[in-house]
A and B are shown apart, each in its own frame.
Chain A
Amino acid sequence: MAMLELEIWRGGATGRFHTYRIPMRESQTVLDAVSEVQRTEDPTLSYRFACRVGMCGSCAMMVNGRPRWTCRTRVAVSAPNGKLLLAPLRHLPVVKDLVVDMEPFFAKWQRAHGRFEPGAAPAADFAVVPPATPGRRAADAGIECIGCGICYAACDVVGWNPDYLGPAALNRAWTLLNDVRDRAAAERLAAVTAGGGCQACHSHMACTEACPKGIAPTYAIAGLKRQAIRAALRSALGAPP
């Protein structure tokens, strides 16, 4: 039987790659392979997963240098030469082995005002949001994000500028800026144009290329940049925001 060679990161911020060999199986996913290593080779190996069907995003890790959902990544596709290099997601503190601390990632969502703000007074009635309106379409384009951190790990700017909010938080802010029910547009725009905001994006599109949901955070960030520039020009011209 053909064997699969896995080099898996062991340790925390410091550590090293350990090599494991397990049988290569038909339709085997990377998550299957990691689970087999844990069950047959080393029960102390730590990694995360929950749904196993591409819904929760918790199994995200670096597979041969690229951030991927391991449950949706087949070994035959990602390791045609029978070798896998598995590391924890980039740009996040390593808890142990393949498990990272997602706290900085979600803290940036909060910094970007990535939460719905209904305002002080509750709405008197349901908001009518026709699906074809530009705002609804813009929100729809990014609304399916499940916060897996793949885009955050793919983004080089996050690595260069630790203050940068990152694609997911900015994408979330953009969906909310296009939500007619939201009442915190000005605060949110100020939050995403402060230091480390949307203007730090280099439009490399690594996030868009890596997103397993097919979301394009780059376009969301471009939208934020347009709004930020409009707001800056209005402010410079003394016009109301």
Chain B
Amino acid sequence: MNAALLAASRISALVLAVAVAVHLVVIIYAVQEGLTAASLLSRTRGNWAFLALYASFVLAAAVHAPIGLRAVLAEWLGWSGRLADRLLIGFGLLLVLLGLRAAFAVFLA
């Protein structure tokens, strides 16, 4: 891992810390209030703040997770190099695709 990846890892971790905290609060609120799927969707539909939060959550996770996995692969399996990096970039893009799809699904619902 070079310094740029370290910086990306730390900055994405900062975003994740906020996003995970808000996410947990949202979950606890939804459960405590007994919100139905319909009432949840009525809150998320067209909600730009919600979309911005979860889009940044997804992007931060897509940056953070492959960097961490890169170290795990190298240290535990001894696997590193260009192929591993390309697969990890692919994994990050997959997270972006799946995450944004989910965020847009409840935004556009």
Contact = CB atoms under 8 A, between A and B. Distances in A.
Contacts, number: 36
Interface stretch (A9-17, A177-185, A193-201): A193-201
Contact of B6 (A157, A160, A199, A236): A199
B55 to A, nearest CB: 22
Interface residues of B, number: 12
Interface of B is mostly: helix
Interface stretch (A42-50, A145-153, A223-231): A223-231
Contacts of B2: 193-195, 199, 232
A57 to B, nearest CB: 28
Interface string B74-90: 11100000000000000
B75 A199 contact: no
A77 interface: no
B74 A229 contact: no
Nearest to B9: A199
A160 B7 CA distance: 22
Interface of B: 1-7, 10, 71, 74-76
Given A195-B2, A235-B4, A236-B7, 14 more contacts: A160-B75, A160-B76, A161-B74, A161-B75, A193-B2, A193-B6, A194-B2, A199-B5, A228-B3, A228-B7, A229-B3, A229-B7, A232-B6, A236-B4
